[in-house]
Structure 1
């Protein structure tokens, strides 16, 4: 399953956000974060593929979504208590822009218009991820013969 197109951010907000970016890269198979960990940064993928997964007791982690160029990796940094709600790992080599969450939150607080723009962007991403997770769960239950309503 591939993520829906990344929600667009206003160009002026994107320019302000990019002032806080640093370039990073990850080899294939690198965990970016684990479910339950402290959400202190986030990424926007430049090249490569990242999967989002959730821990399922007694099973291997379940992949919820696959992200690629232009996609936001991580939204838990935006909402207290700043704990990752899923895990993420690179599937292929990844180049990304990395952002320090505290710096971005401070810029949002200092510039309410920027904060509103970031909030709308992240909110749209959360809505898309929730939809993708729902579809993935429906696929899993249908494959397991669950048959019941979610």
Structure 2
């Protein structure tokens, strides 16, 4: 098995592909490997949103609790996807649960570390925001389509 350094792994993820080497080094300074066993929670609703996860292997279900329906998975994320947008907006708390549907390997980025580096280097902050905004927009679009599917077929 080939051994890769964190910088090459972070740089290979679609979120940070093509990131300037100087910026990649700054982002990688906030990174660490993370593993979760099937059934384990990456985070729970209401907890501090203190990490961003770059999924490398496995499937993660994003879940909410619905009255009279229990736990509902509203999205499943897999390899090369990002989990964790709540780190961007105060009060930096998770608004859903993330549950490993299989064994998961990921890169965890320390959110406070990344926010601090983005504040200190506005060019980095702008580049990071440009990379995260399409993810936010895609999630909003997917939610809209899901809402149409759920509510659109009413007589």
TM-score range, shorter chain: 0.7 to 0.9
The alpha carbon displacement at 1:44 in A equals 0.3
> Cα RMSD over matched residues?
1.9
The alpha carbon displacement at 1:37 in A equals 2.0
Equivalent residue in structure 1 for 2:19, among 11, 17, 22:
11
Matched, 1:105 2:108: no
Change (3 A) 1:78 1:10: farther
Q: Distance in 2 between matches of 1:59 and 1:73?
A: 24
Matched, 1:117 2:117: no
Q: Which runs of 5+ in 1 are unaligned?
A: 1-5
The alpha carbon displacement at 1:30 in A equals 1.1
Change (3 A) 1:58 1:45: same
TM-score normalized by structure 2? 0.80
More moved, 55-64 vs 88-97: 55-64
- The SS at the match of 1:55 is strand
Q: Distance in 1 between matches of 2:63 and 2:33?
A: 24
User: Larger relative CO (CA 8 A, sep 6+): 1 or 2?
Assistant: 1
Q: Distance in 2 between matches of 1:14 and 1:121?
A: 13
TM-score normalized by structure 1? 0.83
Q: Distance in 2 between matches of 1:27 and 1:77?
A: 23
- The SS at the match of 2:95 is coil
Show the counterpart of 1:55.
Answer: 65
Q: Which runs of 5+ in 2 are unaligned?
A: 1-13
Q: Is the 8 A contact 1:50 1:89 kept in 2?
A: yes
